[in-house]
Structure 1
Amino acid sequence: MNKYRETFGVDISKDVFDLHGSNSGHDQFRNDEKGFRSFLKILPQDSIVVMEATGYYHYRLAQFLYKNNVVVAVVNPLSVKRFIQMKLAKVKTDKSDAKAICEYALANEVPHYNALTDVQAECLQLFRLLDSYLKKRTATKNKLHGEETLGIPSKFVYRSLRRDRKHLDKEIDGIEERLLSLVKKEQQQQLTLLTTVPGIGTKTALFLIVVTDGFSKFETTAQLCSYVGITPTVRESGSSVRGRSRISKVGNRKLRNLLFLCAFNASKYNKACRQVYERLVNKGKSKKLALIAVANKLLKQCFAIAKSGLPYDDAHVSVLKTN
């Protein structure tokens, strides 16, 4: 199945990265430029290097190897975790994880990594920072509410929290403005197309483009819906277990929340989404479940619009390719 001379699984931590070659076995290097170059020297030609998406840690190595013409694959950590669980592994170390990633790559088709442009890299950095600030702002709002409930016994604390919220509001506005300008620079047409979908606003369209690299990361709607985390999970076993169907929350929480909010308007003004909502509610399903289905439908519409390059049209959106 594997067409490469050697497959390397890489487990990355803050200071070092462990690797396991399908032929050469285990090795370890420092997670810095010097370590990258040492690794590059021992890499046989026609090899593939596979690593998990680990936030900041994998990015530098993946970019370095890609720019040096090495085939790189970045895989979902959850997929590797499930693979390890299936093997009933009892040992978990950086060394064993590197070996497991190698074995996973040998047993499965892995997606090739494409280096990010400078604009894409900055957009992702801004998106992560924005998510961090949004969480801080929510925490600050909750603290303000708590102080108000107490009757504001300390005016100093209350004023400090208000200043903090005001500062976070300013930073969030600045980040969103910068994100919008960067996306317009490279993806203006796609941004315009997505906002033709009833229910999708500029902010949601912007985030969709950033986290999907202009939808280039995904080949099917199933992959995209799974990534966002709005695919239903069913819990049934035999005749006794009838678990409640719910969405899979393994995915991008920020984007999932935005789509859920968009679903409120889409259920009213988007013809296909309104039909989904009314059908489920008429069947006795909860309004929340119906809105989740609308969010799923909305995401599929966005995928179809982005891939087809055509604006939204009630008469034709149902026949656009979404698989």
Structure 2
Amino acid sequence: MITNYIGIDIAARSFVSARPTPAASYQVQQWDYQTPQQIAHFVDSLNPQTDHCVLEATGNYHLRLTYALLEAGISVSVVNPLSVKRYGQMLASITKTDQRDAVLLARYGQQQQPATYRQPDQHLQYLRQRRMVLNQLQQQRQALANQQHALSVHPQPDAFSQQILDQQQLYVEQAIADLQAQISQLVADHYQQSRQLLASIPGFGAVSTAVFLEALSSFEGWQQRGSSKAFVKYIGLAPTLHQSGRSVRGGSHINRSGVPWLRQKLWLPACTLAMRLKTDTVFQRLYIRLRQAGKSFKEAIIAVMHKWIRVALAVLQSGKPFDSRLNLPTEENLVSNL
């Protein structure tokens, strides 16, 4: 039975742990974790039967310690830093140090009892790393294009500088193509059924399928019916309201939390889905109806993306390919069956 929630504040080269004591205080200790022996020293101090570690998601810094704890049979929770920050504000905490953060994580775990972290499979970890590198290369490609344009308008351009930029651009273009091919191959080899189901939905290509499956794997309970609203909120597409009494009437907008890189990757496919596909789809009809009702371009595209995501989740949950007739209004569905 878990009785001790141990808060861990991770840094680049060390971490601070806060362990509750019988005197209703916390034993705070700093540990190095640069080598497997140093990590094992901390792991050996824990009891798998009673101890549960709570730490924040901090890029890749927390992964080595998290995996070592899981291999030793220690329960671990990797929590959203924003949730812990809001919890600290609720407690009126005004001091921020590594030691205080570790104690705050321990108190958060004891009170909130967050879900246990599940280690993703190896193929998903590769997919995530390739997506991150692809994002960086695409940003570099745009930066190189900007530099090339800046040199092209210079009255006395340097030929050698232009040659270096051209070489770098060719290398980055080839690396992007290779990464995209590897991502597509990985999804085809290890997520064949999900890929085929998503391919039945208009707008889903190789990249959009890969990023959607990556985000979905991080959301617990997506297989359950009725989880679509929670998933849309998780990725940051749920509408929010800010109203109070008669004086506060804030506008509605998406919550912008969760998975911003997924929204970024799905924006262009959603635009294509709404406006540029030659075939008529329920998503195009939704876009046209909202635009005719006076909604802005951005509002209509977000609504299309919202519906598109929920349809994709429903298709994966049912295990059946997309059927556009199920999304038509009743009268149109009757006509299509005549």
TM-score, structure 2 as length reference: 0.85
| Alignment CA distance shift 1:248-1:140 (3 Å) | farther
Query: 1:229-308 counterparts in 2 under 5 A?
Result: 229-268=236-275, 269=279, 271-308=281-318
Q: Distance in 1 between matches of 2:170 and 2:144?
A: 10
Offset at residue 9 of structure 1 (A): 1.4
- The answer to whether structure 1 residue 95 and structure 2 residue 99 are counterparts is yes
The alpha-carbon deviation at position 120 of structure 1 amounts to 2.1
1:43 and 2:37 correspond: no
Q: Tell me if structure 1 keeps the 8 A contact 2:235–2:260.
A: yes
Q: Which amino acid aligns with 1:49?
A: C
Aligned residues, how many?
Answer: 317
What whole-Å deviation, never above 9, does each CA across 1:160-215 have from its counterpart, x for those lacking one?
22221211111111112222222222211101111111122221001211333386
Measured after TM superposition, the shift of residue 280 of structure 1 is 2.3
In structure 1, the residue matched to 2:322 is 312
- Identity of aligned pairs, percent? 29
Unaligned runs of 5+ residues in structure 1 are: none
Runs of 4+ that moved beyond 4 A: 214-219
Q: Does the CA-based 8 Å contact 1:52-1:76 persist in structure 2? A: yes
Match of 1:222 in 2: 229
Alpha-carbon distance change, 138 to 247 in structure 1, aligned in 2, over 3 angstroms: farther
1:209 aligns with 2:213: yes
- Post-superposition shift, 1:277? 1.9
2:134 counterpart of 1:119: no
Deviation, structure 1 residue 231: 2.6
Partner residue, 2:28? 26
1:154 counterpart residue number: 158
2:108 maps to 104
User: Aligned match of 1:170 in 174, 189, 196?
Assistant: 174
Q: Residue 144 and residue 236 in structure 1: after superposition, are their counterparts in 2 closer, same or farther (change >3 A)?
A: farther
Code of the residue aligned with 1:212 in structure 2: it is L
C-alpha distance in structure 1 between counterparts of 2:156 and 2:221, whole Å:
49
1:133 Cα deviation after fit: 1.4
Q: Is the 8 A contact 2:197 2:321 kept in 1?
A: yes
CA spacing shift, 1:295–1:85, aligned 2, 3 Å: same
**Per-residue deviation, 1:100:** 1.3
Report the CA distance between 1:232 and its aligned residue: 2.7
Structure 2 spans left out of the alignment, 5+ residues: 330-338
Deviates more, 1:24-33 or 1:170-179: 24-33
Larger radius of gyration: 2
Q: Which is worse superposed, 83-92 or 153-162?
A: 153-162
Distance, in Å, in 1 between the alignment partners of 2:314 and 2:154 is 51
* Maintained 8 Å contact 2:53/2:76: yes
Cα deviation for residue 16 of structure 1 reads: 0.7
Contact 2:211 2:265 in 1 (8 A): no
Deviations 1:51-88 (A, max 9, x none): 11111101111111111111111111111112112222
Deviates more, 1:259-268 or 1:239-248: 239-248
Q: What displacement does 1:270 show? A: 6.7
Return the letter of the residue paired with 2:15: F
Equivalents in 1 of 2:52, 2:326: separation in Å? Answer: 42
* Aligned twin of 1:9: 7
Structure 1 pair 4–171 and aligned structure 2 pair: CA distance change class (3 A): same
With 306-315 and 9-18 compared, the bigger mean Cα shift is at: 306-315
TM normalised by structure 1 equals 0.89
AA of the residue aligned to 1:95: Q
Is the 1:13–1:31 contact (alpha carbons within 8 Å) kept by the matching residues of 2?
no
Equivalent residue of 1:249, what SS?
coil
Q: Give the partner amino acid of 2:45.
A: I
Shift of 1:216: 5.6
